[in-house]
Amino acid sequence: MTACDDTAPGAASDGFACPADGSPGQLVRALTVAANVRGPMPAPQRFKICCSRDCEIVYFGDAGDAFSVGDVDTVPGFKAGSDGLVCYCFGHREVDLRAESGAAAPSRILAAVEARVETGDCYCAVKSPSGRCCLGNLRALVEATRSGSAT
């Protein structure tokens, strides 16, 4: 499970798809794109994030603009070649969460993220490449690790 799921609401075919692989992608706010890409922003348009693991495109717009993995500050954790970041606000990686979640004790990483999200001390709308909170994905990752299933 990832914050990017092109079967989720907002991913319906609405006339524009990833120019590289044709996937429908998922809508993201222009603010999210502006916070994550290097260089100037293009003209106003609707943007999506490409959810395909092996596609080089991260964001694409309905006016034809596209940003690849080389154009973003942090490669999304679900993309090939990423460093596995799963919590963009607090810098947690999938490998660390999985290692800790294998133990019977509660996940300290998950508890710390939950506490900070609860107090509003997160910036998911701009820090996360999908513009969505990672908390649900972190919980699912902990559960999947403990149950021995892959995500």
**In a domain? residue 142:** yes
| Cα–Cα distance, 95 to 140 (Å, whole number) | 14
| Cα–Cα distance, 132 to 124 (Å, whole number) | 6
**What pLDDT was estimated at residue 3?**
53
- Residue 14 DSSP symbol: -
Q: Which amino acid is at 17?
A: A
On the question of pLDDT at 1 being above 50, the answer is no
Counts of helices then strands in the chain (DSSP H, E): 5, 6
**In a domain? residue 48:** no
Domain that holds residue 103: 85-147
- Maximum C-alpha span of the chain: 50
**In a domain? residue 46:** no
**In a domain? residue 114:** yes
**What pLDDT was estimated at residue 61?**
96
Task: Show the tokens assigned to 115.
Answer: 């506490």
**In a domain? residue 10:** no
At residue 116 the predicted structure's pLDDT band, cuts being 50, 70 and 90, is very high
| Cα–Cα distance, 133 to 88 (Å, whole number) | 9
**In a domain? residue 63:** no
pLDDT tens string 75-92: 888 887 667 888 999 999
Among 1-10, 52-61, 100-109, the range with the most confident prediction by mean pLDDT is 52-61
User: Domain count of the chain?
Assistant: 1
**What pLDDT was estimated at residue 5?**
52
**In a domain? residue 58:** no
